[in-house]
Amino acid sequence: MLALRELQAAFADHLAGRDRVDLLALVSGDSIPAAARIAVHRHHLGQSLSAALAATFPTVRALVGEDFFGRMARDFLAGFLPTQPVLAEYGADLASFIATYGPAAGLPYLADIARLDWALNVAAYAGPVRRLTAADLSAVSSERLPAHHLALPPGTCLIDSPFPLPDIWRASQPDAGEGVVDLAAGRCRLVVLPGSAGAFFVSLSNPEADFVAALAAGSSLEEAAGVAFAADATFDLSKTFARLIRLGTFAALR
């Protein structure tokens, strides 16, 4: 007889597709074979988790099609079952899984698209927080401002990819017309943000992205500006800062 923890682990293994013969012997009743009973649970789990992943990663699903996505989802859940009950939080490891998933090797951008889908999902469910405004800054003396540290709102994410993710994302939307995406268009750097009308992403230039990344890492405004100027001597701090504030990139000062 298996202990409760062992029984739970065996059941999870079996649901994930790793057959556990020792589990079958513990299923009582003889009207329906034990394997058939557990197969029903495995089927429903697979359907539910595949549907949850499809909802969270719509761009990935649009790129590979329903059949491929379904197979990939089943392969994923064999090694990554949910660890908590909220299905909207399931799939954090899918991007890293895709990066080493053999059948997706011909789509080198797919893992980064999965990162973007996941970041949009996280931002969509982030709790509301007051954002930094120009009025907030006007209350800070010019002498003190350079030493200030700014935080990004919960759910914000920076993405750096060698592929043109915005072009791929737009071409995969339901209302997109026919067109060709130039995968050699080059690197993109994005900030994904929670917004009042839903999550969204914005493209950043290299110095802009370096500036935001430095602030996110704990640098002061003066230090972050130095990082951006080191990347590009023509970096326009005032213009960039004003744009980022309009986008709601920073949480309000504490």
Q: In this structure, what token pair is assigned to residue 98?
A: 């895709």
Residue 248 has pLDDT above 90, yes or no: yes
- The edge-to-edge listing of strands for the beta sheet with 200-203 is 157-161, 188-193, 200-203
Q: What per-residue confidence (pLDDT) applies to 242?
A: 95
Closest CA to 94 of 124, 60, 67, 123: 60
Q: What per-residue confidence (pLDDT) applies to 71?
A: 95
Integer Cα distance of 87 and 82 in angstroms: 8
Kindly report, residue by residue over 107-117, the tens digit of the pLDDT. 999 999 999 99
Where b means 16+ CB within 10 Å and e means fewer, 126-162 reads: beeeebbeeeebeeeeeeeeeeeebbbbebbbebebe
Q: What per-residue confidence (pLDDT) applies to 175?
A: 83
Q: What per-residue confidence (pLDDT) applies to 23?
A: 64
Domain ranges (residues) in the chain? 1-107, 127-254
Residue 46 has pLDDT above 80, yes or no: no
Q: What per-residue confidence (pLDDT) applies to 16?
A: 64
Q: Quickly tell me which residue has 């059949």 as its tokens.
A: 67
Kindly report, residue by residue over 67-78, the tens digit of the pLDDT. 999 999 999 998
Residue 253 has pLDDT above 90, yes or no: no
Amino acid found at 109: Y
Average pLDDT over residues 141-159: 94
Closest CA to 99 of 152, 147, 155, 60: 60
Task: Give me the chain's average pLDDT, please.
Answer: 89
Average pLDDT over residues 73-84: 89
Integer Cα distance of 85 and 136 in angstroms: 39
In terms of average pLDDT, the best of 38-42, 86-90, 93-97 is 93-97
Q: In this structure, what token pair is assigned to residue 23?
A: 């589990």
Residue 122 has pLDDT above 90, yes or no: yes
Q: What per-residue confidence (pLDDT) applies to 48?
A: 87
Q: What per-residue confidence (pLDDT) applies to 81?
A: 85
